[in-house]
Amino acid sequence: MSLAPFGRRLCPVVAHSRYGAYDVISVLDAEAPPPDPGQFYMLAASERWGGGADERPFLPRAFSVLRRHDDGRLDFLFEDVGPGTRRLCELRAGDGLWLLGPLGIGFRAPEDDRRPLLVGGGVGIAPLAIWQDVTDAPALLGFRDGSHAEGAVLLRGARIATDDGSVGFHGLVTELLSEELDPGSMVYACGPPPMLEAVRALCEAEGVPAQLALESGMACGYGACFGCVVPTRSGYVRLCVDGPVLDAAELELVA
């Protein structure tokens, strides 16, 4: 497991790309250890991050790394859903980004020669892209509409489902999963809680192991604030240090 250097560091943004409803920011972090797929970073813009006379300061946000390049560049995927993410979407080459990471426990390789299968929804496609770079696994991706589905190009050869039927299969990505799932599969999933709960229940019913990258509001990333606890069958765990990737079998359900 990659361990984060102590303290946050200021890194330069080197590129910005747009994929439909999503923004991808590339930042140079060549001196830090490379992240494991599924790990995350706490991110904050270096300027205009709230806290002015009439502003509330924004806490750093937790984001899974989308991809790491050989030259030390890290890619992060954002969607503008509020003032904090909007500020991150505005970053361009030459801006600064505070990074703390890599943090948490990422995906583990499949055992017993199982076939890895990736299942993602919305911005949850991010940790699956870097995992696909390692495993070359097929991907099933679900999106709200065609604009969001443009993010599917970030993974290779993905089958797509959209809620409105504008791209690919008209329906839920879990319907595609039910077609692809077999006893020799190992499922890796990240997305909104209802999707993850459907993946968990389907895999449990079919006796197929799954690893789920969960999402939760995080204030510190070090396990000190207990703001990201989730219930498991053996008690509460902190996603930032015990996850964000958990075995589906540990969960009664995904809230």
In the 3-class helix/strand/coil scheme, how is 112-162 assigned residue by residue?
Answer: CCCEEEEEEEHHHHHHHHHHHHHHCCCEEEEECCHHHHHHHHHCCCCEEEE
Q: At residue 113, does pLDDT exceed 80?
A: yes
Burial tier of 147 (Cβ tally within 10 Å: 0-12, 13-18, 19+): middle
The pLDDT score that the predictor gives to residue 215 is 82
Looking at the chain, the domain(s) classified CATH 2.40.30.10 span 9-103
Q: What is the mean pLDDT of residues 140-153?
A: 97
Q: Is the pTM here over 0.75, yes or no?
A: yes
Tell me which CATH code domain 9-103 carries: 2.40.30.10
The predicted pLDDT at position 53 comes to 63
CATH number of the domain located at residue range(s) 115-250 in this protein: 3.40.50.80
Q: Where in the chain is the domain with CATH 3.40.50.80?
A: 115-250
pLDDT tens per residue across span 45-73? 988 876 566 666 677 889 999 999 999 99
CA distances, 232 to each of 47, 136, 235, 243 (Å): 39, 30, 5, 12
Biggest alpha carbon distance in the chain? 58
